[in-house]
């Protein structure tokens, strides 16, 4: 829906000094992210069928999650009701050398997962790239019989590697570059940068593991 195609010159923005050479350009400025989140939160509130468990997928989604929850707190349904929601945080690891879906590790106990039965879940993710992790996560969560599961991702990447999965809500559709900032990392760097930027070749080499 919102396709970001062009980049903006980094010279036109405040970039942390320590990352200046490590980014090529700005893809989505922080202010635009916040404006878009207001509308995404409103769309979520409009569709909500009851109270939500908002599940943050760590670590990448943490910054987006904080701003989205703040916007959701203020959002109202068409009949001017606010949406009750609770917080949940999970680390999710997909098995890389196994193609079958449903092979995903979630950093929650079996008892915690069982408590999702009959509840409305909202999964909050930073980026859907190939779509494999999300498909596997949804497959796994279904076993615990939640009333509903919806997914909101800040970004969706337009990549030929995509398995076709599209989240229920997303902030921006982005081209096939490696993006960093606003929670998104490259080997744990860049998460604290406020704009979403395209990493430079210098940055890739500097922070390679």
Stretch that binds Mg ion, among 47-55, 119-127, 139-147, 189-197 (CB under 5 A): 119-127
In the region spanning residues 93 to 132, those forming contacts with ligand HPA, defined by CB under 6 A, are 127, 129
How many residues are given for the chain? 209
Nearer to ligand HPA, 41 or 57 (CB): 57
- Asked if 88 interacts with ligand HPA (CB under 6 A), we say no
Round to whole Å and give the CA distance between 146 and 23: 41
Which residue number is nearest to ligand HPA in terms of Cβ? 129
Nearer to ligand HPA, 28 or 127 (CB): 127
Measured from the Cβ of residue 48, the count of other Cβ atoms closer than 10 Å reads: 21
- Asked if 60 interacts with Mg ion (CB under 5 A), we say yes
Round to whole Å and give the CA distance between 202 and 209: 14
Instruction: Tell me which of ligand HPA, Mg ion, none is bound by residue 184, counting a contact when its beta carbon lies within the kind-specific cut-off of 5 to 8 angstroms.
Output: ligand HPA
- Asked if 126 interacts with Mg ion (CB under 5 A), we say yes
Total number of residues that touch ligand HPA (CB under 6 A) = 6
43 is catalytic: no
Instruction: Tell me which of Mg ion, ligand HPA, none is bound by residue 67, counting a contact when its beta carbon lies within the kind-specific cut-off of 5 to 8 angstroms.
Output: none
- Asked if 178 interacts with ligand HPA (CB under 6 A), we say yes
Instruction: Tell me which of ligand HPA, Mg ion, none is bound by residue 137, counting a contact when its beta carbon lies within the kind-specific cut-off of 5 to 8 angstroms.
Output: none
Q: Residue 122: phi, psi to the nearest 5?
A: -120, 110
Out of 67, 111, 129, 176, which one is annotated catalytic? Answer: 129
Q: Of residues 184, 193, 196, 197, which one binds ligand HPA by CB under 6 A?
A: 184
Termini Cα distance of the chain: 35
Q: Which residues of 143-174 are buried (b: 16+ CB within 10 A; e: fewer)?
A: ebebeebbbbbbbbbeeeebeebebebbbbbb
- Beta strands 104-106 and 85-94, pairing class: antiparallel
3-state DSSP assignment of residue 13: coil
DSSP character at residue 18: G
Round to whole Å and give the CA distance between 153 and 9: 25
- Cα angle vertex 71, ends 90, 3, to 5°? 85
List residues binding ligand HPA (CB under 6 A). 127, 129, 178-180, 184
Q: Which residues are catalytic?
A: 129
Interface residue list for Mg ion (CB under 5 A): 60, 126
């Amino acid at each position: 829906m919102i396709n970001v195609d062009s980049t903006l010159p980094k010279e036109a923005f405040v970039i942390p000094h320590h990352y200046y050479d490590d980014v090529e350009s700005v893809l989505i400025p922080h202010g635009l992210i916040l404006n878009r989140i207001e509308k995404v939160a409103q769309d979520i509130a409009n569709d909500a069928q009851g109270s939500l468990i908002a599940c943050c997928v760590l670590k990448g989604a943490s910054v987006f999650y904080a701003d989205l929850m703040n916007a959701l707190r203020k959002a109202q349904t068409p009949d001017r009701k606010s949406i009750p929601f609770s917080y949940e945080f999970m680390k999710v690891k997909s098995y890389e050398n196994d193609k079958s879906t449903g092979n995903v590790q979630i950093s929650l106990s079996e008892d915690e997962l069982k408590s999702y039965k009959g509840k409305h879940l909202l999964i909050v993710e930073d980026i859907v790239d190939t779509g494999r992790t999300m498909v596997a996560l949804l497959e796994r969560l279904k076993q615990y019989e939640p009333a509903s599961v919806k997914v909101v991702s800040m970004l969706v990447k337009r990549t030929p590697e995509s398995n076709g999965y599209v989240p229920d809500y997303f902030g921006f559709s982005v081209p096939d570059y490696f993006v960093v900032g606003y929670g998104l990392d490259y080997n744990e760097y860049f998460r604290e940068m406020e704009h979403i930027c395209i990493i430079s070749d210098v940055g890739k080499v500097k922070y390679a593991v």
